[in-house]
Structure 1
């Protein structure tokens, strides 16, 4: 995420936009605003949006429609979204929102302290995630380049070996066969066997 990424606040009521901007101002983040779903999508697609505060019910394109479109695109599918609703608990809305990967669903009127806590956590976590992805891509590129360089070196070494010894094949090492004793050769007696052998010869006689 760019260092100048901002939080985009989307609501069709001017007083709500002002209240949300006032609640988030102490965090020191850059804030943007949009008054419709269409305008919000245009700003998101331009980039540099790190989190959305998005009203559910707006004329034309609703908050859920905005999230559905964002989740289809690789560049926007991981941007965290907090949905805002002033119509009280709604099981169907909650199920649909979390099925789309919405980070949280917040009821109006907004508690400024609770909202700041959620926004700080989600915004900072998303920035760390993107920074880690950037580092991983750089490491993969570095490893790939290092492997290609070494691959070229090994290939050149092998080609040089073939030029120096054309047509030669390395013979497999041979193991010499042991020399077998002649059948008539006498096997030397082991220590202590001589007396025992003389006793056996006397018994035969």
Structure 2
């Protein structure tokens, strides 16, 4: 059974991290946090992460930079991301975020109930998808193993048949020879003289 994926909260303000952890605690999921983009990337690669709550603007590596990196790595490209911003609606940010595959964009201050609903939906959907992938992988491995086992059995049976065929042919030939010899021994021997009719003597009847 794989370990439960964690929810990673990334924000450079400790009070925001605390508020997010408090809002999500009732869900019962594993929570962890990072305070900058570099630490977030390390945590994501360490895995398994089932959802990322990520502040957009952080010193150094920004939230969008983290998302760009994640989308380029097979291990992390399917992890759902909720971007957090405290700067109000921004059309350019929204366009860029959704183009990168961000699941949602949430404005600060957060609404705990609304956030829990979104997090539960995204996290559970991601976990179901992963469970399905694992099941498919297991079934493919079993099918491959079954096919290889059948091929091995077929090859073994073919070799056994090839080895047995000459013995069958020799046995059949020997049986035919033996049958022919027995048949010859059982036939009665007929002498040529038994088929000859005695010749009548010339003039016997005439003298009688």
Which bracket does the TM-score occupy, shorter chain normalised? 0.7 to 0.9
Query: Which residue number corresponds to residue 158 of structure 1?
Result: 158
Q: TM-score, normalized by length of structure 2?
A: 0.76
Q: Deviations over 1:160-186 (max 9, x none)?
A: 3333346x9xxxxxxxxxxxxxxxxxx
Query: Which residue number corresponds to residue 30 of structure 2?
Result: 30
Equivalents in 2 of 1:62, 1:51: separation in Å? 17
Aligned pairs for 1:38-57 within 5 A: 38-57=38-57
Equivalents in 2 of 1:151, 1:125: separation in Å? 39
Aligned pairs for 1:118-137 within 5 A: 118-137=118-137
How far is the alpha carbon of 1:136 from its aligned partner?
A: 0.8
1:85 aligns with 2:91: no
How far is the alpha carbon of 1:54 from its aligned partner?
A: 0.1
Q: Deviations over 1:136-165 (max 9, x none)?
A: 111111111111111111112222333334
1:100 aligns with 2:64: no
Equivalents in 1 of 2:68, 2:30: separation in Å? 25
1:58 aligns with 2:58: yes
Query: Which residue number corresponds to residue 73 of structure 2?
Result: 73
**Larger helix proportion of the pair:** 2
Q: Deviations over 1:21-49 (max 9, x none)?
A: 11111111111111100111111111122
Q: Deviations over 1:97-125 (max 9, x none)?
A: 11111111111111111100000011111
Query: Which residue number corresponds to residue 184 of structure 2?
Result: none
Query: Which residue number corresponds to residue 19 of structure 1?
Result: 19
Q: Deviations over 1:31-88 (max 9, x none)?
A: 1111100111111111122111000000000000001111111111111110001111
Gaps of 5+ in 2: 170-208
Q: How many residues align?
A: 167
Query: Which residue number corresponds to residue 112 of structure 2?
Result: 112
Q: TM-score, normalized by length of structure 1?
A: 0.77
Gaps of 5+ in 1: 169-205
Query: Contact 1:12/1:58 (CA < 8 Å) preserved in 2?
Result: yes
Query: Contact 1:10/1:37 (CA < 8 Å) preserved in 2?
Result: yes
Query: Contact 1:2/1:48 (CA < 8 Å) preserved in 2?
Result: no
Which structure's CA Rg is the greater one?
2
3-state DSSP class of the match of 1:12?
coil
3-state DSSP class of the match of 2:4?
coil
Query: Which residue number corresponds to residue 138 of structure 1?
Result: 138
